[in-house]
Amino acid sequence: SWLKISIFSTRSPSQRVSWCKVEVTVESPKVITVLVSEEKMVHPPAVVTAINLKTIVNEKQNISEIVSASVLCFHNAKIDVPMPAPERKRSGILSHFTVVRNPGGTGYPIGWKKEVADRNSKNSCSVLSFENSERALLNRFFLELYKLDSDVLVGHNISGFDLDVLLQRSQACKVLSSMWSKIGRLKRSFMPKLKGNTNFGFGATPGLMSCIAGRLLCDTDLCSRDLLKKVISCSLTDLSKTLLNRDRKEISPNDIPKLFQSSKTLMELIECGEIDAWLSMEIMFHLNVLPLTLQLTNISGNLWGKTLQGARAQRNEYYLLHTFHSKKYILPDKFSQRMKDIKSSKRRINHGPEDQNVDELDADLALENDPSKGSKTKKGPAYAGGLVLEPKKGLYDKYVLLLDFSSLYPSIIQEYNICFTTIPRSEDGVPRLPSSQTPGILPKLMEHLVTIRKSVKLKMEKESGLKHLELDTRQEALKRTANNMYGCLGSSHSRFYAMPLAELIALQGREILQRTVDLVQNHLNLEVIYGDTDSIMIQSGLDDIEEARAVGAKVIQEVNKKYRCLKIECDGIYKRMLLLRKKKYAAVKLEFKDGKLCEEIERKGVDMVRRDWSLLSKEIGDLCLAKILYGGSCEDVVRAIHNELIKIKEEMRRGQVAIEKYVITKALTKPPEAYTDSKSQPHVQVALRMRQRGYREGFNAKNTVPYIICYEQGGASSGSSAGIADRARHPDEVKSDDSRWLVDIDYYLAHQIYPVVSRLCAEIQGTSPESIEADQPVILLHPSCLLQAMKKDTKTVSRWH
């Protein structure tokens, strides 16, 4: 036991306010003591339950109705250390349950009853049951959930879908509050307002959150978007493939009624729900969600449930609140947007004589109140950020050194003692650096984070296995917490919004980078070819890696001499590098991992790392890149690329390229109806049409929409007369609509392959000027020639199956 409650009272079962197994009332939180220190704490295991619903759409009312509900429960999850799959298998206790009902009300297929009985007896407990109404289904579901007494509810998009549907349907079916409120740990007698006015169409509303009081909610959709920024799509299907290497079967809501025709297909539906619940739970473990969010929560002192919801700004807010409070500061109140509005309109009344120009007042308000101005104008940057050096473009085949300042902004806060307490508030302009030597709260806090992180990393090296993983999670969380601080200073919504401080930090960053460049170029006589915010790349001109490393070491030594806290480090050495534009480059990177030198291609910002290019473009881009980075002479590279292009073009024309490779993916930043220029956006058009066809899921704000640019067979014109957005089709439309839509090969050649390849090759000619004149291969890569290679030849009609 780890918790001690010294004085408490109990109530009779009928008077209890919760569904908990034990319920006590205390007079004050002071009677509760934690028995062990955080260091020695052995966290009790948690009960984690994944939920998945299968629903059909009620066309008339445009709502989802539940057909089947599955739960999968992991009874002894560790919350403090990662649990890799083998560990889970070894020590896990799993149980599952599904309840189903026939939406048509026409009974169940022949033999179904026996099938269910067999399954239950095989598992020697009730794992499957069927009901005759949605209300009965819900009752049964809540009862099973109650028995599990879960600490954490997991699900993919559970906060945006499953939870809402469960409670909406409970309300519609008049499920008793004594049943539906079992979804949480608190007994409730009335349904709260489920459709809150907050969160722009995603996440759980406050009403929903209040219903699950006492349990944590882990939405693997939200979590994966937060933790895996670069993943193309966070749909359950795609994550299962990329993270777990598992294929997921998708069942469209429109097909569900058909599945009730036979026992076999109905069982497939049920298994699909159980597998989906399992996948979501697997993703949670795979991403190490619980241990990471627990660490983040413990460091910042906010609520775990909030950390699970994202709430980065709030984490930062709580951390600062605790710190300032412990130093006996009284903090200013937090003003809501509404309060800010009231305040500014009062000011307007107070000093606004009737004849004053209204525009002037508005401008005044915009400046004083909020850099994001009103709601209709898009907010521009409020202050200057990082410095990006003009790249010296080209292909480098001698060693390039990559140096960067570790945690630049947190270090600047320490180096220059930047804090609310050290810098006076001023009316305008960037404030000056403080002269005070007494460290402010913010720098001390940064130092604290850095110190703990160092000690955690040291301990980590000595440990192995689970302890190692736990400490790694903790040091990662400490880094995140430190890096979060700067962003929140510059966020106008933040309680600790301090634009002058953010501006000052960014200014120092720019000056530091520029000073470093000057030092390297003027005093060390080395050439800086690029740099972004906290990094510089130096062309060593050397073929010998040891010599290159020595040069790097010298630079590091010279730069670090100048600073107390700031530290520049070598982040890697590029053997060969293609520098295309600001924020766009690729290289063969050499890195020391476990004392061994490894080599890998690093790509930054180039088209291939962006989800808004088709797989086709990316594959060809990567192919060209590999030829460029590993290729021999310029001529060989050019010829190889040219041949590759011709080959691909032929394959496309012959219809030998899989349709999946043509899929382009773009994210909706808002609900599709909210776009003012939906006409020009292919993904918005596709989303609107799919929604009209009754596909509700996957076409909301923040979802990614896949599409293919097509032309209509037998349409008036085969090509570009219609806008690009009108010719975009969802992959399912292309597959199902009876070969009505054909991939527009010409579009892909001209708009997907040509731009990608030509950008990659743009710098090749420049690297060997002498070959431009005579050699034929270089000419092959001249834009006009490249275009020729891409151009249409004989007209061919391709079919896709």
Site for DNA in 740-779 (CB under 7 A): 751, 755, 759
Residues 32-51 that bind DNA (CB under 7 A): none
Scored b (16 or more CB within 10 A) or e, 306-345 reads bbbbbbbbbbbbbbbbebbeeeeeeeeeeeeeeeeeeeee
Beta strands in 423-482 (DSSP E): none
d(CA 311, CA 338): 20
* Residue 677 vs 738, nearer CB to DNA: 677
Q: Which is nearer to DNA, 44 or 385 (CB)?
A: 385
Residue 520 burial by Cβ neighbours in a 10 Å radius (0-12, 13-18, 19+): buried
Site track 134-163 with DNA (rule: CB under 7 A), x = hit: ------------------------------
Smaller CB separation from DNA, 45 or 605: 605
Q: How far is the CB of 770 from DNA (least distance, A)?
A: 27
What token pair was written down for 44? 């009790």
Residue 542 is a binding residue for DNA (CB under 7 A): no
Shortest Å, Cβ 725 to DNA: 5
In this complex, which beta carbon is closest to DNA, that of residue 232 or of residue 243?
232
**Cα 584 to Cα 231: distance, rounded to the nearest angstrom:** 19
In this structure, are residues 146 and 273 in contact, taking their beta carbons and an 8 Å threshold? no
Name which of 97 and 662 has its Cβ closer to DNA.
662
- Does 725 participate in binding DNA (rule CB under 7 A)? yes
The only residue of 11, 193, 322, 325 in contact with DNA, by rule CB under 7 A = 193
Does 610 bind DNA (CB under 7 A)? Our answer is yes
Q: Does 249 bind DNA (CB under 7 A)?
A: no
Quick check: 700 binds DNA (CB under 7 A)? no
State the binding string over 507-536 for DNA (x if CB under 7 A, else -). Answer: -------------------------xxxx-
Q: Looking only at residues 370 through 409 of this chain, which bind DNA when binding is defined by CB under 7 A? A: 371, 378, 381-386, 388, 404
530: which residues sit within 8 A by CB, 6+ positions away?
A: 389, 391, 392, 536, 537, 579, 582, 585
Name the one range near DNA by CB under 7 A: 5-13, 31-39, 86-94, 202-210: 202-210
CB of 569 to DNA, least distance (A): 12
Sole binder of DNA in the list 113, 583, 647, 654 (CB under 7 A) = 583
Dig out the tokens for 249 from the structure: 């079967």
Per CB under 7 A, which region of 77-85, 217-225, 667-675, 734-742 contacts DNA? 667-675
**Is the Cβ–Cβ distance between 420 and 557 less than 8 Å?**
no
CA distance 159 to 217: 8
Does residue number 15 form part of the binding site for DNA (CB under 7 A)? Answer: no
Of 577-585, 634-642, 690-698, 774-782, which segment contacts DNA by CB under 7 A? 577-585
Select from 611, 689, 735, 740 the one that contacts DNA (CB under 7 A). Answer: 611
Nearer to DNA, 52 or 484 (CB): 484
Are 529 and 579 within 8 A, CB to CB? yes
β-bridge partners, 34: 3
Nearest residue (CB) to DNA, 109 versus 698: 698
* Cβ-based nearer residue to DNA, 56 or 688: 688
Q: Is 181 in the site for DNA (CB under 7 A)?
A: no
Indicate the residue type of 320.
L
* Site map (CB under 7 A) of DNA, residues 402-431, x = contact: --x---------------------------
Nearer CB in complex with DNA: 136/570: 570
Identity of the residue, 11 or 147, whose beta carbon is nearer to DNA in the bound complex: 11
Residues 482-511 within binding reach of DNA (CB under 7 A): 483-484, 486-488, 490-494, 502, 506
Please tell me the distance from the alpha carbon of residue 56 to that of residue 775, in angstroms, as a whole number.
64
User: Of the candidates 605, 655, 715, 731, which one interacts with DNA according to CB under 7 A?
Assistant: 605
Is the Cβ of residue 88 or residue 582 nearer to DNA in the bound state?
Answer: 582
Give yes or no for residue 207 binding DNA (CB under 7 A).
yes
Residue 603 binds DNA (CB under 7 A): yes
- Interaction between residue 311 and DNA (CB under 7 A): yes
The 8 Å CB, 24+ separation contacts for 446-450 are: 446/410, 446/411, 446/413, 446/414, 446/482, 446/485, 447/414, 449/299, 449/410, 449/478, 449/481, 449/482, 450/407, 450/410, 450/414, 450/482
SS3 annotation, 147-210 = HHCCCEEEECCHHHHHHHHHHHHHHHCCCCHHHHHHHCCECCCCCCCCCCCCCCCCCCCHHHHH
First to last CA, the chain: 62
Which one of 584, 627, 639, 649 is in contact with DNA (CB under 7 A)? 584
Binding mask 456-485 for DNA (x = CB under 7 A): ---------------------------xx-
724 binds DNA (CB under 7 A): yes
Q: Does 785 bind DNA (CB under 7 A)?
A: no
Whole-number minimum distance, CB 388 to DNA, in Å? 4
Give how many residues touch DNA by CB under 7 A.
80
C-alpha 78: how far from chain center: 24
Q: Is 581 in the site for DNA (CB under 7 A)?
A: yes
Nearest in space to 134 (alpha carbons), one of 100, 180, 168, 179: 100
Compute the chain's Rg from CA coordinates.
Answer: 30
Helix-strand-coil split of the chain, %, nearest 5: 50, 15, 35
Residue 87 CB, nearest approach to DNA (Å): 31
| CB-based contact 98:68 (threshold 8 Å) | yes
| Region binding DNA by CB under 7 A among candidate stretches 139-147, 410-418, 463-471, 672-680 | 672-680
Check residue 62 and give left, alpha or beta (phi > 0: left; psi -120 to 50: alpha).
Answer: left
